Structure 1
Amino acid sequence: MRSVLKIVLLFLVVSFSFAQSHAQSPYRFEAGINIGTLLYQGDLIESPFGSFKGARPMVNVWLAKPFTPYFSWRGNLTIGSMSADEARFQNPSWKQYRRFAFSTPATEITGMVVFNPYGDNGKSSDRTLTPYVMIGAGATFLNIRRDWSSLDSNAALKSSLQSGYTKDSAHALPRVLPVVPVGAGVKWMVTPNIAVNAEATLRFVFTDYLDGFSYTANPGRKDSYYGISVGVSFLFGGTGVKCPVVPRE
């Protein structure tokens, strides 16, 4: 985990240094708000893409500043939650006996570098649809509540989980996790100053306790989560939205 964080932080530092010598940009700031959901991926869900069962709303507010036609900085505040309940799944059938569940609110703060391959930072007189990719680092704040109270009373099942249950019970659940977000999206300029977007961002958290379970489930598989959302943004300064000028008397 440390090596990955070092690489990401190095990339951010290099980008910042590059920004100091390439300050030209088509507008000064872009502010946006996105609405979507966070989807957990881990031991309690078999699908590699997570599950919408129990999905809850998420809001992401962000501020971006371009520093070249290709790159921009973006700060994000994301507020949402995650949960999973094995009792909701009929397959595989053993989930109806284990019935593990968890839930947690999630407040995430990240800084990211956004790359626009067209070199116009999404603002062009002859192009309205622009893809982008992004990577960054940050932290997510959690309050994990795990629930194994619905475990089937079958003695053999309980016996097979006892060793893992003991280890997981002794493990303190994380309250703050470093996170490496990697995402992609597409932006559509509705007007010269207003854009709508759709994006998906995977978060690597480098732990198997995002859901509160590890040894009683699959300790060899790390947990993660991702968000999907749609939103609207506004361009300010430069050739973007100009602040109103109050006339002098």
Structure 2
Amino acid sequence: MMKKIVFVILISFFSTGLFSQINEAGIFAGGSNYIGDIGRTNFIYPNSFAIGAIYKWNMHPHYSIRANYKYSKISGSDSQSSNSFRKYRDLSFTNDIHEITLGIEYHFFKYSLGKVGFTHTPYVFFEAGTVNYGTLDDGRSFNFTMPFGAGYKTILAPNVGIGFETGFRYTFKDDIDGYPYDPLSENIQINPNNNDWYVFTGITLVFAFGREGCYTGSF
């Protein structure tokens, strides 16, 4: 009886899970913005150019494993804020970030660059990774980051896909802006409980390669 159960589970896995071994590789281009103690507080307000590379392994028409590298210079200026206190304080900063992440992407509709009919879908993604950035003492620091976001993608040409996505990054430190909390300072008032966020918004262009799988499942 146990052997029959194991056999059924394996058949189900191979009939529904091994949709494809197609890989996707390409580029990301767009913008970034910072959300923290300095400057604007808009959630999506790309004001610095961002670029990156992306790789996806399509396990199933509804989900993919994705890996990313992204780079951008980020900045913030109190003079551009709508907050009167920040305008009066008038702090500013610039920094550069390198991010590497790994995660999963879920497609609301079946999608494949190598299968007729699976041509477009909105999607969401959840990732984990690390970000490297400059610090106040001219060194570099690593921080853990948890990107999540949403997008929409479609087929541009055979084996070529294009998409648009926005991803929010929560960090676990409050020093990307270069102003650590100093309780003795009268001029620099930074909230020590407000960890930094940053956002990437842009376009992905990917090219598919690899062998088409044998998906026969119904979902």
TM interval, shorter chain, is 0.7 to 0.9
Instruction: Return the TM-score normalized by structure 1.
Output: 0.69
- Residue number among 197, 209, 213 corresponding to 1:224 in the alignment: 197
Which string of whole-angstrom CA distances, capped at 9 and with x for unpartnered residues, describes residues 18-66 of structure 1?
x9997613352001211011110011135241544xx221112011111
Aligned residue for 1:86?
A: 78
Tell me, in whole angstroms, the C-alpha distance in 1 between the residues paired with 2:134 and 2:97. 8
Number of matched pairs: 194
Aligned 8 A contact 2:24 2:55 in 1 = yes
Map Cα deviations across residues 2-26 of structure 1 (whole Å, 9 max, x no partner).
Answer: xxxxxxxxxxxxxxxxx99976133
Contact 1:207 1:223 (8 Å CA) reproduced: yes
Runs of at least 4 residues off by over 6 Å: 19-22
> What is the rounded CA distance, in whole Å, between the counterparts of 1:64 and 1:34 in structure 2?
13
Tell me if the contact between 2:113 and 2:208 (Cα under 8 Å) persists in the aligned partners. no
Which one has the bigger helix percentage? 1
Secondary structure at the residue paired with 2:88?
helix
Distance 1:50 1:99, change over 3 A: farther
Contact 2:32 2:198 in 1 (8 A): yes
Picking from 107, 123, 126, the partner of 2:117 is 126
Counterpart residue number, 1:115: 106
- Cα deviations by residue, 1:159-183 (Å, 9 ceiling, x for unpaired): xxxxxxxxxxxxx987110011102
Choose between structure 1 and 2: higher strand proportion: 2
Equivalent of 1:199 in 165, 187, 190: 165
User: d(CA) in 2 for partners of 1:174 and 1:203?
Assistant: 19
* Preserved contact between residue 163 and residue 205 of structure 2 (Cα < 8 Å): yes
CA distance in 2, matches of 1:20, 1:182: 29
* Structure 2 segments unaligned to the other structure (5+ residues): 1-12, 182-188, 214-219
Instruction: Give runs of aligned pairs for residues 1-249 of structure 1, distance below 5 A.
Output: 24-49=18-43, 51-52=45-46, 55-89=47-81, 91-121=82-112, 124-145=115-136, 175-213=141-179, 215=181, 216-239=189-212
Change (3 A) 1:118 1:51: closer
Counterpart residue type for residue 231 of structure 1: T
Percentage of identical aligned residues? 26
Per the TM alignment, residue 224 of structure 1 is displaced from its structure 2 partner at its CA by: 0.5
- The TM-score normalised by the length of structure 2 is 0.77
Listed as ranges, the gaps of 5+ residues in structure 1 are 1-18, 147-171, 241-249
